[in-house]
């Protein structure tokens, strides 16, 4: 379990255009210096947003990692719910799911008329 | 000179990034209130804007997480987010390192703060600036309180920090505006994004409006997490501004839940 380093990778990617280029160019080489379990490495390489969420990756890092992979907002939210359905509850951290997969925002919001 | 403006506002990335998905009536009213803040800051004659934010691992990580940090750079860059995602172009934002140094030096008389000569703004600062200083023509002094990586900065230390910021602002000849960004209840970047505990928000805002120190410091992180989500930890930024306002009462001139922005959107100004 090296959640710290999983999150560190996402932190490093978020901060640096060069790191993003190196990561996208050769993921294996980029990940070489980070101690990861096989499950963590697989989750990043795929990328498996749902599994990363379940592993405990902070959403503030994960949503930008999803954006890096051009995963749009609604698909990002769905991927986290799917991750829980597949792998069980979030294992660490403070970004757990509390709403049992319920959607709290609409695709387009319109104020109810009185 | 003195503190000439103190206020708070929300900073969620959806405010710009998912603007087209919000109800236009509520959204535009919120934007209009952010514009009132912009005008108030301008009318105050502020020569610099201190932004007390809760950043999200743009600069600070668990490798070396400060409870407090104040920027001291010539300039800053942002947003760190993908410009297409947050819908704000990358830009350079002016700082004032000499002013920062004097403020940091005074704050340090009572509170241990880290300082940083490089700082990349994430949505915690750049979204408010997009509305408050849209031309990026006012020197910014970024300030961070750790609301992200537990163990978090205790609320009572946040209050002490706000008092120290006020003393520091009053000790320099320049006119200073200060804005806190964040909160209130929200569950950002999780499947619960859009969940907002409006009752909890309104109760917090009553304590905030009255500048009731005891009531604002009475929350525990466990309670806040249960009732207001991990985003609720950002009440620290509001509390710091309340302390900096030194007993003044706040006028909350806008509050409305906007789920697609993932937060109860708020604008408030202290009557200094």
B38 lies in a domain?
Answer: yes
Interface residue of A17, A24, A50, A64 to substitute, partner B, most B CBs within 10 Å: A64
Domain that holds residue B172: 13-114+129-176+184-264
Contact (CB, 8 A) for A14 and A61: yes
Q: Kindly determine whether residue B195 and residue A99, on different chains, have CB atoms separated by under 8 Å.
A: yes
pLDDT of residue B112: 97
Give the pLDDT band of residue B1 (cuts 50, 70, 90).
Answer: low
Of A21, A73, A66, give the one whose Cα is nearest residue A46: A66
Q: What is the ipTM of this complex?
A: 0.91
Nearest to B150 among A73, A94, A97 (CB): A94
Chain B residue whose CA is closest to A11: B57
**CA gap B266, B167 in Å, rounded:** 26
Which DSSP category does B151 fall into?
S
Q: What is the pLDDT of residues B108-121, one digit of tens each?
A: 999 999 999 999 99
**pLDDT tens-place values along chain A, 114 residues long:** 699 999 999 999 999 999 999 999 999 999 999 999 999 999 999 999 999 999 999 999 999 999 999 999 999 999 999 999 999 999 998 888 898 888 898 878 876 655
Say which residues have a Cβ less than 8 Å from residue A20's Cβ, sequence separation at least 6: A13, A68
B120 lies in a domain?
Answer: no
- DSSP H or E stretch at residue B158: helix B155-170
B8 lies in a domain?
Answer: no
**CA gap A96, A55 in Å, rounded:** 10
B219 lies in a domain?
Answer: yes
Query: What region, left, alpha or beta, does residue B129 occupy, with left being phi > 0 and alpha being psi -120 to 50 degrees?
Result: alpha
pTM over 0.90: yes
Of A66, A68, A64, A2, give the one whose Cα is nearest residue A34: A2
The domains found in chain A, sorted by start residue, are: 3-87 (1.10.700)
Contact (CB, 8 A) for B221 and B232: no
Find chain B residues with C-beta within 8 A of A109's C-beta. 21-23, 26, 258-260
Q: What is the mean pLDDT of residues B182-210?
A: 96
pLDDT of residue A1: 61
Which DSSP category does B120 fall into?
B
CB atoms within 10 A of CB B142: 28
Q: What are phi and psi of A22, to 5 degrees?
A: -65, -40
Chain B residue whose CA is closest to A68: B82
**CA gap B126, B132 in Å, rounded:** 10
Contact (CB, 8 A) for B121 and B29: no
Q: How far is B210 from chain A (nearest CA, A)?
A: 30
Chain B residue whose CA is closest to A96: B190
CB atoms within 10 A of CB A31: 17
Query: What region, left, alpha or beta, does residue B229 occupy, with left being phi > 0 and alpha being psi -120 to 50 degrees?
Result: left
Q: How far is B156 from chain A (nearest CA, A)?
A: 22
How many residues belong to chain B?
Answer: 272
B271 lies in a domain?
Answer: no
Q: What are phi and psi of B269, to 5 degrees?
A: -135, 135
Give the pLDDT band of residue B133 (cuts 50, 70, 90).
Answer: very high
Q: What is the pLDDT of residues B222-233, one digit of tens each?
A: 999 999 999 999
**CA gap B115, B112 in Å, rounded:** 10
Residues of chain A whose C-beta is under 8 A from some C-beta in B? 4, 7-8, 11, 14-15, 58-64, 67-68, 73, 77, 80-81, 84, 94-99, 101-111
pLDDT of residue A113: 56
Average pLDDT of the residues of chain B: 97
B229 lies in a domain?
Answer: yes
CATH number at residue B43: 3.40.830.10
Q: What is the pLDDT of residues B13-54, one digit of tens each?
A: 999 999 999 999 999 999 999 999 999 999 999 999 999 999
What order do you get walking across the sheet with B48-53 strand by strand?
A: B114-116, B68-71, B140-145, B48-53, B175-181, B2-9, B263-270, B250-258
Angle at B140 between CA B135 and CA B144, to 5 degrees: 130
Structurally, how many domains does chain B consist of? 1
B121 lies in a domain?
Answer: no
B39 lies in a domain?
Answer: yes
The whole-angstrom distance between residue B175's C-alpha and the CA centroid of its chain comes to 19
């Amino acid at each position: 379990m090296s959640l710290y380093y999983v999150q560190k990778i996402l932190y490093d990617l978020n901060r640096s255009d060069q790191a993003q280029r190196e990561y996208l160019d050769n993921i294996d080489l980029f990940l070489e210096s980070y101690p990861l379990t096989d499950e963590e490495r697989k989750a990043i390489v795929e990328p498996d947003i749902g599994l990363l969420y379940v592993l405990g990756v902070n959403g503030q890092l994960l949503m930008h990692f999803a954006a890096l992979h051009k995963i749009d907002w609604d698909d990002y939210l769905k991927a986290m719910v799917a991750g829980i359905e597949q792998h069980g509850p979030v294992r660490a951290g403070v970004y757990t799911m509390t709403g049992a997969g319920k959607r709290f925002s609409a695709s387009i919001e319109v104020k109810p008329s009185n | 000179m003195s503190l000439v403006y103190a206020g708070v506002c929300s900073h969620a990335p959806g405010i710009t990034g998912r603007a087209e998905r919000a109800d236009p009536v509520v959204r535009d009213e919120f934007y209009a209130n952010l514009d009132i803040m912009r005008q108030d800051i301008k009318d105050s004659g502020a020569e610099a804007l201190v932004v007390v934010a809760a950043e999200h691992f743009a600069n600070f990580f668990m490798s070396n997480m400060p409870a407090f940090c104040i920027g001291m750079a010539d300039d800053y860059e942002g947003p760190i987010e993908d410009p297409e995602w947050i819908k704000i172009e990358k830009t350079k934002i002016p700082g004032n390192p000499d002013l920062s140094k004097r403020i940091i030096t005074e704050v340090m008389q009572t509170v241990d703060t880290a300082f940083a000569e490089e700082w990349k703004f994430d949505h915690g600062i750049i979204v408010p600036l997009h509305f408050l200083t849209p031309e990026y023509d006012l020197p910014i002094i970024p300030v961070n309180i750790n609301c992200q990586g537990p163990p978090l900065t205790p609320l009572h230390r946040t209050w002490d920090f706000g008092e120290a910021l006020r003393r520091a602002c009053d000790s320099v000849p320049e006119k200073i505006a200060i804005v806190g960004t964040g909160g209130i209840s929200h569950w950002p970047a999780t499947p619960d994004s859009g969940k907002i505990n409006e009752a909890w928000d309104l109760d917090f805002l009553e304590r905030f409006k009255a500048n009731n120190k005891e009531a604002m410091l009475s929350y525990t992180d466990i309670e806040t997490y249960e009732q207001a989500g991990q985003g609720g930890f950002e009440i620290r930024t509001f509390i710091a501004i309340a302390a900096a306002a030194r007993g003044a009462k706040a006028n909350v001139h806008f509050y409305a839940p906007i789920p697609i922005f993932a937060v109860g959107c708020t604008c408030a100004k202290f009557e200094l």
